[in-house]
């Protein structure tokens, strides 16, 4: 680590909303490694970020130099379809009020972490940041994606009017240890890992997966994503949004087969085509992150999946 990076962080007070969550935990760990001595993680029981009074109290009590906003109401396709209003309202109110109060309280930098769901449903591949406004997001998660996208509008408007240093990052689908394996809300990788082990535990030789398997996705290991967020927090101070990804795509069919192999599931995979695929394809152009603050993902998908599966087996005491 460079000495000047450590010194930069030593002198800063940082709020990480969602710091107890999946990505947040990795970001907080990395900030501590970088020498940041004052990292505050607000808990929802004490600070309901949907309420202006709670945000004001948080900022008055902690007096941060920087806010890294990771808190979000998230879930897979099913959860988004069941709760579109809640996903829209909660994410919009948290982000918009937090950025406004950060500006009012003199916070020096605001790092808004958006969502890949903000991109239009039919975005040309690879997704370039300038394509964000070329169409409507995929319907199953549009309310969530648009709520997070408003942080980009707000950050650019605040920079223009107030000179407020807010940046906007777009991480792709994340995975890794400490992910959410609850089948009601989990994303595709933890859902498939759990399904494979559950099937083996029950002696089943058929695995049913949502959709056709033809949709493609890009996945970023959580520690790599944390590195991207922290590097941008250190070095990036512009209004243009930045993709944070690995720069590849894999079909859900190939992903399911890889996870089956790595978990030891030897049965047959069948596809429930009555269920939606979500966005047809997803793969990011990651050139801007490399150019602006030197971020490149380092963990291959197979390496990351092996680490995630090993963590799951240890955490939930299961064997392949």
Q: Among all residues, which ones are annotated catalytic?
A: 144
User: Which residues does residue 67 pair with via DSSP β-bridges, in sequence order?
Assistant: 15, 110
Distance CA 129, CA 240 (A): 8
DSSP string, 27-49: HHHHHHHTT--EEE---TTT--T
Of 117, 122, 96, 132, give the one whose Cα is nearest residue 240: 132
Distance CA 309, CA 260 (A): 11
Q: How many of the other CB atoms lie within 10 Å of CB of 215?
A: 20
By CB atoms closer than 10 A (0-12, 13-18, 19+), residue 62 is: middle
Give the three-class secondary structure for 268. strand
Question: C-alpha distances in angstroms, 254 versus 77, 217, 309?
Answer: 19, 10, 17
Alpha helices for the chain (secondary structure H): 3-10, 22-33, 52-62, 77-82, 84-104, 142-162, 188-202, 222-235, 252-263, 287-293, 301-316
Give the three-class secondary structure for 234. helix
């Amino acid at each position: 680590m460079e000495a000047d990076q450590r010194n930069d962080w030593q002198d800063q007070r940082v709020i990480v909303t969602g710091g107890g969550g999946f990505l947040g935990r990795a970001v907080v760990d990395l900030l501590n490694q970088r020498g940041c001595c004052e990292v505050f993680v607000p808990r929802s029981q004490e600070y309901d970020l949907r309420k202006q009074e709670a945000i004001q109290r948080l900022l008055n009590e902690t007096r941060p130099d920087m806010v890294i906003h990771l808190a979000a109401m998230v879930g897979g396709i099913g959860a988004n379809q069941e709760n579109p209003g809640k996903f829209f309202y909660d994410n919009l109110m948290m982000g918009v009020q937090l950025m406004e109060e950060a500006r009012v309280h003199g916070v020096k930098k605001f790092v808004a972490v958006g969502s890949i769901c903000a991109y239009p449903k039919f975005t040309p591949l690879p997704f370039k940041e300038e394509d964000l406004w070329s169409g409507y997001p995929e319907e199953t998660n549009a309310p969530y994606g648009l709520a997070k996208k408003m942080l980009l509008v707000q950050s650019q408007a605040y920079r223009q009017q107030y000179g407020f240093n807010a940046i906007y990052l777009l991480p792709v689908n994340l995975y890794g240890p400490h992910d959410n394996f609850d089948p009601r809300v989990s994303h595709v990788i933890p859902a498939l890992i759990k399904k494979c082990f559950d099937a083996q535990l029950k002696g089943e030789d058929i695995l049913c997966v949502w959709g056709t398997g033809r949709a493609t996705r890009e996945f970023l290991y959580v520690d790599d994503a944390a590195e991207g967020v922290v590097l941008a927090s250190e070095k990036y101070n512009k209004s243009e949004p930045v993709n944070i990804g690995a720069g590849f795509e894999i079909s859900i069919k190939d992903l399911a087969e890889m996870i089956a192999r790595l978990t030891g599931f030897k049965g047959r995979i069948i596809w429930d085509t009555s269920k939606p695929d979500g966005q047809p394809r997803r793969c990011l152009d990651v050139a801007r992150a490399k150019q602006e603050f030197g971020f490149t993902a380092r963990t291959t998908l197979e390496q990351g999946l092996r680490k995630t599966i090993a963590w799951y087996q240890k955490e939930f005491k299961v064997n392949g």
